[in-house]
Each structure stands twice: as C-alpha cells, then as structure tokens.
C-alpha cells in the first residue's frame, strides 16, 4: 500500500467519516462503522491474513468459514472502537455500555481499599471508563502513547488521532494518565484517589526483567508481572474486567472477582489473569486485539 493511499485512508476515516457518523443516532453510527469495516477487511490483506493465520494455529479444528467470521468481527470491532472516541462524553453512554459485577469494586472503594483495574486488550475496553465515571469514580491509566514525539512510527493522521483520543479519554475519565517509563511513585499516589487501569500487554522489544512464563492459547507466553508487583506494594486489590460486545454497538463490561496479590506468587497471579483472558478469547476470538503480536508473546 502506497504512502499516498495510506494518507487518504487515515485522513478520511478520522477527519470526515467518523465525525459525520457521530452526528447521527448512535445505532445508525455504529451500523455504518460496521459496514465501513468491510472495506478495510478487503483492503488490508496483509493484516487480514496474519490474523487469520494466528487464529488457525490456535484453533486448528475451526473451518475456513468460521475463522473468516472471526476475522471480519475483528475488523468490525476496530472500526467501532475508533468511533467510540466521539461518544465518550455523550449522554447516551448508559445506552451503549453497562457494567456487570462492578458492585465488588464499589464495595472495596467504600471500605477504603485501593483498586487496580486490569484488562487484556480485549474488546472495546475503553468504554468501561465512561460508565464507571457516571457511577461516580475517576479512572486513570498507564499508557504507551501521549509523548511529544511519534516514536512508534505511526502515520501522521493516526498519530494525531491517538493524541486527540487520549485527550478525550482523560477529560472523560477524570484520572491521571501516566506514560509508560515514568516514575511509578506518581502511580502509587494516584491510587489513593482514582481507579487505575493497567493492561495485560505485550512487550514489543526484548522481554522485560521480572517477566514470568504462563500457559496461554495452546502454548506459553512471557508477560511482565508489573501489575502484580504494584498491587502487592501498594496493598491494592486487582479487578479484572472484559468486554462483551454485541456487534451492533452496545457493550457490557464484565468484572471478575477481585484478586488479592498477597494470596499468590507472581507466576500464579499472572497465570490466573492469562487464564481469564484466554477463556474470553476462546469464546469470542474476533475480540482480541493482539493476534498479530502473538508470536512476540511466544518468545
């Protein structure tokens, strides 16, 4: 794909189409985003085939038609997740996203307990934030984006959108947005005021120190145990949540039982998070963002 074509695609998505959809009733807007995903399914052949290959390796018994349905669902999710950014502060958020099992988090905070939220790049996970904010909580996170330079080599239109998205998220969620690699003492302080989100993520360079190896999707992966260490150091509990996506716009943020890090060692704790994430991936393969990165996790 030429740079010119990429420029056109990134620009018209973010500068024309999504702002136009956001003027429509939300159900119509998400329907158009799903329809738009068909174009990118056809256009982004390399991404499509890479995801398809990884899915087929994990689900060798699945037929071609079934795998293709999962891949199409992935592209649909990507377009609708981008559209989510325009709806973060809209009054219709309660119609689009709901919380299930959040009562345990509310009870923990009412008792003065610090809470770390954990998700795994599964589904349109950012939408859980506005719903929690409407329930009376502020939410912060640790992110890779947000620096002054485009160090990940994103297309300029994509980079501008990412920065704008972070600004929208921070304004909507009300918590501190910290950039990965900064002093963690600030994160420790923010836990006193906010729910802080750490994602079950993959390192795109070398395997970080302190990583553990856990079972995952028919093999093993190496993952940083930072969330375990931070929770243990700060005496916080961890609240895993995962998104259930209807495909037509609405989502449900499903919260699992709270985890106390003092009941586990690092490998046990991260294995439990990996097991929870895997169960969601197996139920809805098209909802996981990191299919292309799976070989990096396998290192």
Residue 220, classified by CB atoms within 10 Å of its CB into exposed (0-12), middle (13-18) or buried (19+), is: middle
The number of C-alpha atoms within 13 Å of 131 and in the hemisphere containing its C-beta is: 25
Name the maximum alpha-carbon separation found in the chain: 56
Per the DSSP assignment, residues forming a β-bridge with 238 are 116, 259
The packing angle between helices 26-43 and 45-58, to 10°, is 90
pLDDT digits (tens, 9 = 90+) for 188-229: 888 888 898 887 665 555 666 778 899 999 999 888 888 999
Site of tokens 């499509």: 48
DSSP 8-state code for residue 249: S
Strands of the 114-119 sheet, one edge to the other: 97-100, 251-255, 236-245, 114-119, 195-199, 139-143, 174-179
Q: Helices 64-84 and 26-43: crossing angle, nearest 10°?
A: 130
Q: Residue for token digits 């256009």?
A: 43
pLDDT digits over 152-187, tens only? 667 777 888 888 998 999 999 998 887 766 666 778
Per-residue pLDDT of the chain (299 residues), as tens digits, is: 333 344 446 678 898 999 999 999 999 999 999 999 999 999 999 999 999 999 999 999 999 999 999 999 999 999 999 999 999 999 999 999 999 999 999 999 999 999 999 998 899 999 999 999 999 999 998 776 555 676 666 777 788 888 899 899 999 999 888 776 666 677 888 888 889 888 766 555 566 677 889 999 999 988 888 899 999 999 999 999 999 999 999 999 999 999 999 999 999 999 999 999 999 999 999 999 999 988 888 86
% residues pLDDT > 90 (the chain)? 68
């Amino acid at each position: 794909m030429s740079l010119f074509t990429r420029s056109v695609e990134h620009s018209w998505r973010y500068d024309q189409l999504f702002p136009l959809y956001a003027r429509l009733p939300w159900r119509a807007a998400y329907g158009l985003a799903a329809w738009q995903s068909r174009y990118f399914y056809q256009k982004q052949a390399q991404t499509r085939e890479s995801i398809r290959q990884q899915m087929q390796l994990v689900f060798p018994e699945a037929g071609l038609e079934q795998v293709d349905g999962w891949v199409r669902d992935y592209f649909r999710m990507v377009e609708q997740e981008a559209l989510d950014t325009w709806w973060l502060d809209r009054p219709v958020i309660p119609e689009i996203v709901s919380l299930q099992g959040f009562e345990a988090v509310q009870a923990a905070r009412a008792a003065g307990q610090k809470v770390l939220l954990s998700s795994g790049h599964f589904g349109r996970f950012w939408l859980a934030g506005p719903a929690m904010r409407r329930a009376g909580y502020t939410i912060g996170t640790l992110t890779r984006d947000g620096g002054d330079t485009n160090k990940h080599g994103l297309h300029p239109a994509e980079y501008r959108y990412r920065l704008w998205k972070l600004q929208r998220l921070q304004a909507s969620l009300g918590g501190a947005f910290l950039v990965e690699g900064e002093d963690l003492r600030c994160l420790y302080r923010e836990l006193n005021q906010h729910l802080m989100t750490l994602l079950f993520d993959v390192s795109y360079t070398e395997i970080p120190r302190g990583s553990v190896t856990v079972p995952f999707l028919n093999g093993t992966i190496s993952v940083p145990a930072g969330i375990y260490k931070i929770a243990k150091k700060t005496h916080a509990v961890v609240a895993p949540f995962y998104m259930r996506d209807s495909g037509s716009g609405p989502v449900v943020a499903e919260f699992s039982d709270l985890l106390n890090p003092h009941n586990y060692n690092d490998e046990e704790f991260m294995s439990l998070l990996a097991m929870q994430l895997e169960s969601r991936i197996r139920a809805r393969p098209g909802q996981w963002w990191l299919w292309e990165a799976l070989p990096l996790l396998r290192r």
